[in-house]
Amino acid sequence: MKTNAQKLEIASKITLPAEWAPHKAMWTAWPSHPDLWMEDLPHAQTEVAAMVRALAADGLNGRKGDHVRVLACGDEFVASAKKAIGDVAEIIPAKFGDIWLRDTGPVWAKREGRVVALRFKTNGWGGKYDFPDDRTVGDFIAKTAGTPVIQNDIVLEGGSLEYDGDGTLLTTRQCLQNENRNADLSADEIEEEVKRIFGVEKVLWLDEGLANDHTDGHIDNIARFCAPGHVICQEAYGDDDPNVETHEEIARALSNMTDARGRKLKVSRIPSPGLLKNASGLAVPASHMNYIVGNASVVVPTYGTKSADLAVKALGPLFSGRRIIGCSARYIQGIDQEGGGAFHCITQQEPAE
C-alpha cells in the first residue's frame, strides 16, 4: 500500500499528452461477439474497417497515418479482421468483452518522459454491462505495448475524461461522482484523486451528458478540447433535438470556465445529429463529438442525418493540418438496436515517447 507521500511523488511525475499529440499506435477492437451484435455484426465490422482505414491513411503535408493495432477475439474474427483490414492494420488475437477500449483499455500517460499505462477498476459502467474479460483486457494491451502499468483503485472509464495536455481535465459530475462508481468517495475526494492520478492542476466539471446515455454522461459525447484553452461542444439540430437544453447549458457553463493556466475558455460549436430513435423508440445519445483524433486525420461519426456534412465542415478549421473524415457509425451506435458508442469509444491512443 503506497503512502500519501509516495502517491504524490508518482502524481508529480505524470503528464497527460493531448489526443492530438503524436501517437505511437492507435488501439481498437474488431466486433467479435455475435451474441452482442446479432444481425448488426457485419455492418459494425464494415464501419470499424472504414474507421481503421481512415486512421491508417497518410494525410496532408506529409503527415503519416496511425499504426493501428486491432484486437480480435477468436480464430473466426481474427481471420475476418485480417481479410478486411490486414493490409493496413496489425491484427492481435485477444480476449475482450466488447469493443469499447476507451473505457476498458489503459489510459496512457507519461512519467518523466516515458509512456506508462494507467489502469483502473472496471464495474461495467455502473453495473449495467458486465462482460467477460473487460477487467483484464487493459492489462493485456499494456503488456502487449510493453508499457509499465500503474494500478489505481478508483472506478473510472477513459470516456469520462477529456484533457488538454496543459494541466486541465474536463469531465462530468453525472459520471465521475455517480454513486454507481465510487460511492465511498466524496465529490472533493474524487477530484483530488483525479488530480493525483493524472497529474493535472485543474478539473472542470460539467453537470450532465446526453439523454439516455448509458455511460452516465461520458464527456466524449458532449465536450472536447481542440487546443489548450479551446473547447468544442454541440448545438441542437432541429427543434425536436432531445438535448436542446443540455447543449445550451453545456455551452454556457464552458464559456464561464477558465483553465489551469487562467485562460477563459474559447467555445466553438458544431451541430448535433438531432433526434435519432432506436428500435425501442428511445432517443439515442448519438454525437458527432465522439470523433477520434489520429496522427493525420480526425474521423467523425455520422448517422445518415443532414447534420453530418455540417459537423465535418465545422471541425475543419479546428484541426488545421488534419483531414476531417466523416464515417458511418450507425451500427456501432446501435441505432437500429439497443446500444451506444462511436469512434472515440472504441479507440485509445498510445502516445509516442
What is the CB-side half-sphere exposure of residue 351 using CA atoms within 13 A?
A: 21
Pairing relationship of beta strands 202-206 and 168-172 according to DSSP bridges: parallel
- The length of the chain is 353
303's CB contacts (< 8 A; 6+ apart) are 273, 276, 286, 328, 329, 330, 333, 335
Active-site choice (73, 175, 226, 345): 345
345 labelled catalytic: yes
Q: Please return the burial class of 327, using the count of CB atoms within 10 Å of its CB with bins 0-12, 13-18 and 19+.
A: buried
Q: How far is CA 215 from CA 80, 196, 301, in A?
A: 29, 23, 18
Inter-helix orientation angle 187-198/4-12, to 10°: 50
Beta bridge partners of 111: 14, 114
Inter-helix orientation angle 41-56/75-85, to 10°: 50
Q: Are 266 and 230 in contact (CB under 8 A)?
A: yes
Pairing relationship of beta strands 323-328 and 68-72 according to DSSP bridges: unpaired
Phi, psi of 146 (to 5 degrees): 75, 30
Q: 496511425: which residue's cell?
A: 66
Name the grid cell of 87. 493490409
Q: How far from chain centre, in Å, is Cα 124?
A: 16
Q: Give the CA radius of gyration of the chain.
A: 19
How far apart (Å, rounded) are the C-alpha atoms in residues 247 and 264? 19
What does the angle CA 95 – CA 178 – CA 169 come to, to the nearest 5 degrees? 80
Residue positions annotated with a catalytic role: 345
